[in-house]
């Protein structure tokens, strides 16, 4: 780290400092490692900044990091904080944080003070909140905006699974409340590093050591879920949160208990869940030909797309001009998946272990595709 020219940006401030670095070739050395808040407020350099990574990566010492002379450290910190606040905490209508007074007052009775909006979906919003010294995430699901199938099938599964799962690489759900038959409110841990898709959207490649670590953590979470009979069915960077430098899987809105509790038999999925860019060939076949599929094996394909994205910042197949409501377009994409028509960049083209793992994860032959319990035994993780 000692001879790097600059860093990309400061990700967050406070007792801990997260810095994203790049080399002279504009490729990152390591993304989002945790550095103790020890430096001189000098306009041209940071001195004696001791970096502390996770236990699997040796601690590193940074002697000096040059920053633009036009941006003193204090100004840069303040500017970054302002940018994050304006992006994540927009002023919304006339109600506090975009929430109705009913919800705001209800959360106050639970000791929660909502600070800002973090993300939103079709019928749900996620807010940052504080309770004493704790930072939490509050997901508010608007039942009136959900379809009947969502309310009767998906939501009960999400609530049951969120309450039951307990794993170090899964975001912990602490409480779930139902408010006046109109809202479901889920309280979980807050991720101080944000989500993985935001990191990837910065268009700076993740160092392979970091990608390997984070991907292994997500795989461990998936192995745990599969071991409890739960298929996630929506694995993507948006649903991977970074907290304390650790990757954690979240969002069970499309998850399903896919093992019959009485017989132990596999329960096939009959709907192509998730985001199309991460869907498996069998999910497209389900959409096109109404063929049920094994959701556990399909999760493994989504893991392959996730890894491909983490390494290359690109999807295996160009989906930009595809109309997913057009059967012909879907058939064309399915054909590419079946023929494994994806290519790595020159930088990774000679990485035999990586190519082998990706081929096994995105194998169109369901019977031959690697299973979640086998992934971490692959040689790529021993590099």
Is 13 part of a structural domain of the chain? yes
User: What is d(CA 196, CA 239) in angstroms, rounded to the nearest whole number?
Assistant: 8
Model confidence at 340: pLDDT above 60: yes
* End residue of a domain, out of 189, 207, 230: 189
The whole-number pLDDT of residue 374 equals 98
**Could you tell me the CA-to-CA distances from 33 to 3, 206, 227, 243, 326 in Å, in that order?**
17, 11, 30, 11, 43
Parallel/antiparallel/unpaired status of strands 33-36 and 230-231: unpaired
> Do 125 and 231 have their domain in common?
no
Q: Is residue 102 located within the same domain as residue 248?
A: no
In a domain, 28, yes or no: yes
Residue 124 has pLDDT above 80, yes or no: yes
* In-domain check, residue 234: yes
Per-residue tokens: 290:
């109404």
Cα–Cα distance, 44 to 71 (Å, whole number): 9
| DSSP bridge partners of 293 | 269
Q: How confident is the model at residue 85 (pLDDT cuts 50, 70, 90)?
A: very low
Same domain, 330 and 213: yes
Q: What is the dihedral of CA 361, 366, 370, 374, to 10 degrees?
A: 140
Half-sphere exposure of 134 (CA within 13 A, CB side): 11
Confidence of residue 98 (pLDDT cuts 50, 70, 90): low
Q: Within the chain, where are the H helices?
A: 73-88, 101-109, 148-149, 155-164, 196-201, 208-227, 281-289, 295-312, 327-338, 352-361, 372-375
103 and 168 both lie in a single domain: yes
pLDDT of residue 234 exceeding 90, the answer is: yes
Q: Do 293 and 227 share a structural domain?
A: yes
Average pLDDT of the segment spanning 53-80 = 35
pLDDT given for residue 39 in this prediction: 33
181 with 240, same domain: the answer is: no
- In the chain, how many domains are there? 3
69 located within any domain: yes
Mean pLDDT score, 296-303? 98
Same domain, 272 and 377: yes
Max CA pair span of the chain:
67
In a domain, 375, yes or no: yes
Q: Find the range with the poorest average confidence among 63-67, 201-205, 292-296.
A: 63-67
- Which residue has better confidence, 27 or 263? 263
Query: Burial code of 226-236, b = ≥16 C-beta within 10 A, e = fewer?
Result: beebbbbbbbb
For residues 64-80, give the mean pLDDT. 35
Tell me the pLDDT of the chain averaged across its residues.
78
Provide the percentage of residues in the chain whose pLDDT is more than 70.
73
How far apart, in whole angstroms, are the C-alpha atoms of residue 131 and residue 135? 7
Do 235 and 111 sit in the same domain of this protein?
A: no
Residue 60 reports pLDDT greater than 80: no
In this structure, the answer to whether residues 340 and 240 fall within a common structural domain is yes
Assess if residue 1 is contained within a domain: no
Q: Which domain holds residue 100?
A: 89-189
Cβ atoms of 234 and 158 closer than 8 Å: no
**What pLDDT does residue 276 have?**
87
* 81 and 175 together in one domain: no
What's the confidence (pLDDT) of residue 250? 97
| Local structure of 147: helix, strand or coil | coil
Mean pLDDT lowest for which of 60-64, 236-240, 365-369?
Answer: 60-64
Considering the domain architecture, whether residues 184 and 200 belong to the same structural domain is answered as no
**248 and 378 assigned to the same domain:** yes
Identify the weakest region by mean pLDDT among 65-69, 139-143, 243-247, 378-382.
Answer: 65-69
68 — pLDDT class (breaks 50, 70, 90): very low
Who contacts 161 (Cβ-Cβ below 8 Å, separation ≥6)? 230, 252, 255, 257
């Amino acid at each position: 780290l000692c001879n790097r020219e600059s860093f990309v940006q400061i990700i967050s401030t406070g007792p801990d400092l997260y810095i994203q670095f790049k080399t002279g070739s504009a490729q990152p050395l390591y993304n989002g490692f945790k550095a103790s808040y020890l430096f001189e407020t000098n306009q041209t350099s940071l001195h004696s900044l001791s970096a502390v990574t996770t236990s699997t990566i040796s601690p590193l010492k940074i002697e000096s990091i040059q920053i633009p002379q036009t941006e003193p450290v204090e100004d840069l910190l303040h500017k970054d904080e302002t940018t994050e606040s304006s992006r994540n905490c927009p002023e919304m209508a006339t109600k506090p944080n975009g929430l109705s007074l009913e919800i705001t007052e209800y959360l106050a009775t639970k000791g929660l003070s909502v600070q800002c909006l973090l993300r939103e979906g079709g019928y749900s919003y996620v807010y940052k909140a504080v309770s004493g010294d704790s930072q939490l995430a509050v997901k508010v699901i608007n039942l009136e905006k959900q379809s009947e199938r969502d309310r009767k099938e998906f939501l009960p599964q999400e609530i049951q699974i969120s309450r039951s799962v307990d794993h170090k690489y899964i975001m912990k759900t602490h409480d779930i409340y139902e408010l006046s038959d109109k809202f479901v409110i889920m309280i979980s841990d807050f991720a101080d590093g944000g989500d993985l898709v935001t990191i990837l959207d910065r268009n700076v490649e993740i160092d392979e050591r970091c990608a390997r670590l984070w991907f292994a953590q997500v795989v461990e979470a998936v192995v745990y879920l599969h071991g409890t009979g739960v298929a996630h069915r929506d694995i993507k960077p948006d649903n991977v949160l970074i907290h304390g430098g650790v990757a954690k899987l979240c969002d069970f809105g499309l998850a399903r208990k896919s093992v019959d509790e009485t017989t132990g038999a596999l329960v096939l999925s009959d709907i192509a869940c998730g985001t199309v860019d991460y869907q498996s060939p069998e999910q497209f076949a389900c959409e096109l030909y109404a063929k049920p599929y094994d959701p556990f094996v399909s999760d493994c394909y989504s893991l392959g797309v996730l890894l491909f994205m983490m390494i290359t910042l690109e999807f295996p197949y160009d989906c930009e001009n595809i109309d997913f409501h057009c059967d012909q377009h879907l058939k064309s994409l399915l054909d590419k998946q079946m023929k494994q028509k994806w290519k790595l960049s020159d930088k990774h083209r000679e990485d035999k272990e990586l190519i082998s793992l990706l081929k096994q994860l995105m194998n169109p032959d369901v019977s031959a595709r690697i299973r979640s319990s086998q992934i971490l035994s692959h040689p790529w993780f021993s590099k």
